[in-house]
Amino acid sequence: MATIETASENPLLPAPRPPQRPLGLFELVRTVKDNSIATFTDDAYNLDFLDRSFLWAHAYIVNDPEAIKHVLLDNAMNYTKTRLARRLLEPGLGQGLLTSDGETWRRHRRIMAPSFDPRSVASYGPLMTEHTEALLTGWDQLANGAELMLDQAMMRLTLDIIAQAMFSADAADIADLVATGVERYQIDVRPTLFDLIPLPPWMPRLRSMKFAKQIFSEFDVKIDRMVTERRAGKIERQDLLARLLAARDEETGTGLSTQEIRDQVITIFMAGHETTSLALTWTLYLLSEHPGVEAKLHTELSEVLGGRTPRAEDVPRLRYTRMIIDETLRLYPPAHTLSREAMAADEICGRRIPPRSVIYVVPWVLHRHRKLWERPDRFEPERFLPERSAGRHRFAYVPFGAGPRICIGAAFAITEAILILATIAQRYRLRLKPGHPVEPRGLITLRPRNGVAMVLERRT
């Protein structure tokens, strides 16, 4: 469907201005700490392959979809999570699914997979919309035109949903801790000079793990209590915690240790809410700037739902809603950078890759690549129409990663984002507070630096 676009219908979107030349070491460290997506020069958005090696540390950014397929899927056995990613995440997440590798990862992924299959995801639909409606009931108490911080509201909403879906818990006290923990962790756990200069792997790093211990020790006490109560309790549950507690090794018959369970619980809490809440925050921000897209969304919602609460079965028919989410994940991918370390030498884009090289697949860059996307910096959900997606390489778009390490929660996240967006947009229109600066900031995830202040407009 052709649309006539004016400049105000399709404004330029916030993104850091690429530096004129590759940054020197100190500038690079400073910029990575403040906003890692601000380090990419124009080259990164134009070339298939960039060599970012420094001294004896080999590092490459790969934008060629075939090469990305090679790293994430075809030769995935040769690529592990990087030491830097582990150093940043392990103090909090331990050996959870995001950080582990090899046999431990395979076994744990097998145990957890049933909680994320299509039937389970559909079963979470009612609790996703109930929590959203409870949030809207709160908004109904506010005056029309009231202001609120959307990012905080979405963070709390997705946190409450993940707690209930995965742990059946009224885990309000744990959720409170996670909410403050994530914030501090992202600010505190940023790479230092000593993470970025290629020190030999046996050298100790200067980073103290004290802060991570502090953040998570309270959390550990509460998880221990939740696990103990569940082990002692008589109530039968079918949730992820029940699966973790019941799992037995096929050969030895042993179950998961309390530490292993704790690591998975915190990983799911962390990985399972912040990314989706960011996807929703960016989506509602983009809609506030694109009234034409918003009007089409409203048309679809009234045709498919006619004012009623959406259900998981409606998701396949909410096609335009889905395209809006897909387009947001292209422009503002919450997981903006993926990294892998080569175990053995390999060849990528005709170049020899020595062992221990780090390969970066950067959705932030890839999804805005000049050769792969038309008008890459514009918000155009229609680019995800089936006929316009047909010629696109599957690995040109990887908001959830790909291959064996693809996000276990992708279907959960898409269903949740569609149901929440459909519920909110039927009752409210959100408008960016005039003058509020919106700026994407690459920390562990892609966050709006100043949050997103919105003005509420009730739809009549």
The contacts of residue 340 (CB under 8 Å, 6+ apart) are 71, 72, 79, 80, 81, 82, 358, 359, 361
- Residue 282 interacting with ligand HEM (CB under 6 A): no
Q: Among residues 71 and 456, whose Cβ is nearest to ligand HEM?
A: 71
The contacts of residue 124 (CB under 8 Å, 6+ apart) are 161, 165, 312, 412, 415, 416
Chain residues 334-353 in contact with ligand HEM, contact rule CB under 6 A? 334-335, 338
Please report how close the Cβ of residue 103 comes to ligand HEM at its closest, in angstroms. Answer: 13
Q: Whole-angstrom Cα distance, residue 353 to residue 344? A: 9
Candidates 124-132, 249-257, 409-417, 425-433; binding stretch for ligand HEM (CB under 6 A): 409-417
Chain residues 317-336 in contact with ligand HEM, contact rule CB under 6 A? 334-335
Burial of 110 (0-12, 13-18, 19+ CB in 10 A): exposed
Q: Among residues 403 and 456, whose Cβ is nearest to ligand HEM?
A: 403
Please report how close the Cβ of residue 109 comes to ligand HEM at its closest, in angstroms. Answer: 5
Q: Whole-angstrom Cα distance, residue 355 to residue 345? A: 5
Q: Among residues 447 and 456, whose Cβ is nearest to ligand HEM?
A: 447
Q: Whole-angstrom Cα distance, residue 2 to residue 346? A: 45
Q: Among residues 272 and 442, whose Cβ is nearest to ligand HEM?
A: 272
Position among 348, 400, 418, 453 found at the interface with ligand HEM (CB under 6 A): 400
Residue span 91-110 as binding mask against ligand HEM, x where in contact by CB under 6 A, dash where not: ------xx----------x-
Q: Whole-angstrom Cα distance, residue 300 to residue 191? A: 44
- Residue 89 interacting with ligand HEM (CB under 6 A): no
What HEC string does 44-105 produce?
A: HHCCCEEECCECCECEEEECCHHHHHHHHHHCHHHEECCHHHHHHHHHHHCCCCCCCCHHHH
Amino acid identity for residue 136 in this structure = L
Name the nearest CA neighbour of 404 among 146, 164, 78, 122.
78
DSSP 3-state assignment of 340?
A: strand
Name the nearest CA neighbour of 155 among 346, 334, 303.
334
Please report how close the Cβ of residue 116 comes to ligand HEM at its closest, in angstroms. Answer: 7
**Residue 22 DSSP class:** P
Q: Tell me the residue number closest to ligand HEM, measured at CB.
A: 409
Position among 286, 407, 425, 446 found at the interface with ligand HEM (CB under 6 A): 407
Q: Among residues 279 and 456, whose Cβ is nearest to ligand HEM?
A: 279
Position among 16, 399, 440, 442 found at the interface with ligand HEM (CB under 6 A): 399
Please report how close the Cβ of residue 401 comes to ligand HEM at its closest, in angstroms. Answer: 3
- Residue 297 interacting with ligand HEM (CB under 6 A): no
Position among 59, 279, 362, 365 found at the interface with ligand HEM (CB under 6 A): 279
Q: Residue 455 has which token pair?
A: 């003005």
Position among 91, 125, 272, 310 found at the interface with ligand HEM (CB under 6 A): 272
Catalog residues that contact ligand HEM under the rule CB under 6 A. 97-98, 109, 162, 267-268, 271-272, 275-276, 279, 334-335, 338, 399-401, 405, 407-409, 412-413
